[in-house]
Amino acid sequence: MIRIYDTALGNLVELDLRDDNRMAMYVCGPTVYDTPHIGHGRFGLIFDVLRRYLQFMGIEVTYVSNVTDIDDKIIEKANQVSSSTAEIAAKYEQEWWDVMDALGILRPTHTPHATQYVTQMVEVIAHLVEKGLAYNTVEGVYMEVEKIPGYGLLAHQPLDTLKSGARLMVCSSHKRSPLDFVLWKPAKPGEPTWDSPWGKGRPGWHTECVTMALDLLGEDFDLHGGGADLAFPHHENERAQAQGLGRRFARRWMHNGWVVVEGEKMSKSLGNFVSLKDLVEQTDPRSYRLLVLRSHYRSPLEVTKRTILDAQDALQRLDALKRRFENPDILPDSLPDPLNRELAQATKQFHDKMEDDLDTPAALAVIFDLVRKANTLADQGQLAYGALVAGEVFSLCQALGLFAAVTDNNLVDDEITKLVNSRDQARLAGNYALADSLRKQLLAKGWVAEDTPVGTKLRHA
Ligand SMILES: [Zn+2]
């Protein structure tokens, strides 16, 4: 089973699943008030690769990612442009899905919206107040974090250090501790509001994800992910609420590193904010996926014109391979030894690397070795053997989302993708009876599976 670096433990651990062959994961989604940037693209791609890889390995993944459609920043934007918060949220949510689709990121299984979850969030807050873990003030309801044993786990810093850090930023005199965070904000004039036992207002951001994750995935779900900047305080605050409710929360925590643009950490304040829309419009969107895969997910990702062009070059090598082997005359059933052994070893190495904390740079290196191998075989006149090696390249690329089974991934659901992947694996393993039974299952669901040397292609029956 795959091992990942668990931020809470500060260690590599097996991703032991709550339910056999089923993965329940939650990844914090966007606050929809502005154009998505390349940092969003990075986390979207990393968790998409994790999901696709697990699906490729036959694991059913339930992927929940929220949409924060009410927030200070949305209200501010709505006021700036004299629009409603609902209009702002709808506009930027559409932009979000447009670029995520362009990047080939599979849509989450569930995308709960904050405004649809207010009733459940009020229940969560009321429960925390009832238990004496939250208190009401004129500035809103706050969570009293010092009543939560072990608070600060995800920050890996002692409470006192966190407190002095928070004290520097605190501007409220109503908090019992500078670390206490808001659960319910009282209504301000002109803002959208909801009813609550503490008067009209709206829930705080940290209550959103804990409520949705527990509702849609249940207790003790497998993985909670997001960008490293979310680990503290956002994820810690989610964790604190779950703990306060006496409910088991995420088993594992996974965080990705930040993006460095032209040598500087990307942030809006630095002015090196790069729009994802510009990126997907100006380059082959798959090159950003390849670029993301070339760095380990916990390392900073350097985005410069040069790194993007390099990724585009590498992608062209894959595309050239695809063109070269699209129509080989006859595909042999198997490769002769030692070629066969070599291919099996390379495949194993690919999986070993992926399962070692998603070491995608090393897994990609295995793929590009196979690309060279396929080309060398073809150069030596062994086109059919080259085609078999190329077939494996494209199968492994599917696990990374580089070449999906169908051009538009979002046209088919997870179940179909899983059937196609299982079928490709069965064909590669030479299990033609299983491959045929999977082809029939696809047909029953309205899809004709066509064999090509680069994997299965689908068309409507
Ligand atoms: Zn969240």
In a domain, 270, yes or no: no
Residue 11 pLDDT grade (very low, low, confident, very high; cuts 50, 70, 90): very high
User: Do residue 80 and residue 178 come from a single domain?
Assistant: yes
Is the same domain home to 110 and 241?
A: yes
Global model pTM greater than 0.85: yes
pLDDT score of 271: 59
Cα 79 from chain centroid?
A: 31
DSSP string, 47-64: HHHHHHHHHHTT-EEEEE
Expressed as residue numbers, the domain containing 150 is: 3-256
How far is the first Cα of the chain from the last one, in angstroms, to the nearest whole number? 36
Domain presence at residue 300: no
Range of weakest confidence among 28-37, 240-249, 272-281 = 272-281
Task: Specify if 368 maps to a domain.
Answer: yes
pLDDT above 70: percentage of residues in the chain: 92
Which contacts qualify for 293-296: CB closer than 8 Å, 24 or more apart? 293/45, 293/49, 293/360, 293/361, 293/363, 293/364, 293/400, 293/402, 294/360, 294/361, 294/364, 295/257, 295/360, 295/361, 296/257, 296/357, 296/358, 296/359, 296/360, 296/361
Count other C-beta atoms under 10 Å from residue 63's C-beta: 25
Share of the chain above pLDDT 90, in %: 66
Q: Which residues of 218-234 are buried (b: 16+ CB within 10 A; e: fewer)?
A: eeebbbbbbbeebbbbb
322-355, pLDDT tens digit by residue?
A: 888 877 666 777 788 899 999 999 999 999 999 9
What is the 252 CA–ligand 1 centroid distance (Å)?
15
Instruction: Read off the pLDDT of residues 270-296 as tens digits, 9 standing for 90 and up.
Output: 555 688 988 888 888 889 999 999 999
Ligand 1 geometric centre to CA of 34 (Å):
17
Task: Evaluate if residue 163 carries a pLDDT over 50.
Answer: yes
Are residues 197 and 311 located together in one domain of the fold?
no
Residue 143's nearest CA partner among 49, 212, 206, 226 is 206
Position 269 scores a pLDDT of 58
Domain count, the chain: 2
How remote is the CA of residue 87 from the centroid of ligand 1, in Å? 22
* Cα 96 to Cα 181: distance, rounded to the nearest angstrom: 28
Q: Are 180 and 45 in a shared domain?
A: yes
Asked whether the CA dihedral 203, 206, 210, 216 is positive or negative, the reply is positive
What's the rounded mean pLDDT across residues 96-121?
Answer: 94
Å from CA of 208 to ligand 1 middle: 7
Structure-token pair, residue 275: 């729009």
Q: What is the CATH number of the domain that holds 381?
A: 1.20.120.640
Cα angle, residue 148 at apex, residues 142 and 154 outer, rounded to 5°: 100
**pLDDT band at residue 222 under the 50/70/90 scheme:** very high
70 C-alpha to center of ligand 1: Å? Answer: 13
Q: How far is the CA of 212 from the centre of ligand 1 (A)?
A: 9
- Residue 401 CA to ligand 1 center (angstroms) comes to 25
- Residues 323 and 252 occupy one common structural domain: no
Please identify, among 256, 283, 316, the residue that sits at the C-terminal boundary of a domain. Answer: 256
Residues surrounding ion ligand 1 at CB below 5 Å: 28, 209
Q: How many helices (H) and strands (E) does the chain have?
A: 15, 15
Is 263 a domain residue?
A: no
**pLDDT of residue 153 exceeding 80:** yes
Strands 134-137 vs 140-143: parallel, antiparallel or unpaired: antiparallel
Q: How much distance in Å is there from the Cα of 203 to the middle of ligand 1?
A: 13
**Are 334 and 342 in contact, with CB atoms under 8 Å apart?**
no
Residue 425 has pLDDT above 70, yes or no: yes
Instruction: Band the pLDDT of 172: cuts 50, 70, 90.
Output: low
Q: How far is the CA of 319 from the centre of ligand 1 (A)?
A: 37
Residue 458 has pLDDT above 90, yes or no: no
Whether residue 39 is found in the same domain as residue 121: yes
Summarize pLDDT for 57-97 with one digit per residue, the tens: 989 999 999 999 999 999 999 999 999 999 999 999 999 99
Å from CA of 107 to ligand 1 middle: 17
The more confident residue out of 52 and 327 is 52
In a domain, 418, yes or no: yes
Q: Would you place residue 407 in the very low, low, confident or very high pLDDT band (cuts 50, 70, 90)?
A: very low
CA 304 to chain centroid? 23
Residue 263 to residue 278: CA distance in whole angstroms = 20
What's the Rg (C-alpha) of the chain? 24
What is the pLDDT at residue 330?
64
Comparing 55 with 411, which gets the higher pLDDT? 55
77: helix, strand or coil: helix
- 229 and 331 both lie in a single domain: no
Taking residue 190's Cβ as centre, other Cβ atoms within 10 Å add up to: 9
Same domain, 344 and 245: no
Tell me how long the chain is: 461
Task: Determine phi and psi for 303, rounding to 5 degrees.
Answer: -110, 115
pLDDT-derived band at 409 (thresholds 50, 70, 90) equals: very low
Q: Indicate if the pLDDT at residue 46 is higher than 80.
A: yes
CB neighbourhood size of 330 (10 A): 7
- Write out pLDDT tens, residues 360-378: 999 999 999 999 999 999 9
Question: Do 219 and 312 reside in the same domain of the chain?
Answer: no
Count of other CB atoms within 10 angstroms of residue 67: 21
pLDDT at residue number 1: 85
Are 315 and 249 within one domain?
A: no
User: Looking at the domain assignment, is residue 272 inside a domain?
Assistant: no
**Is residue 26 domain-shared with residue 157, that is, in the same domain?**
yes
Q: Once rounded to an integer, what is the mean pLDDT over residues 12-41?
A: 96
- Tokens representing residue 245 in the block: 């409710």
Q: What is the CATH number of the domain that holds 172?
A: 3.40.50.620
User: CB of 288 within 8 A of CB of 38?
Assistant: yes
Six-digit token pair at 57? 């390995």
Residue 181 Cα to ligand 1 middle (Å): 14
What's the CA-to-centroid distance between 81 and ligand 1, angstroms? 27
Give the end of a domain, one of 224, 256, 288: 256
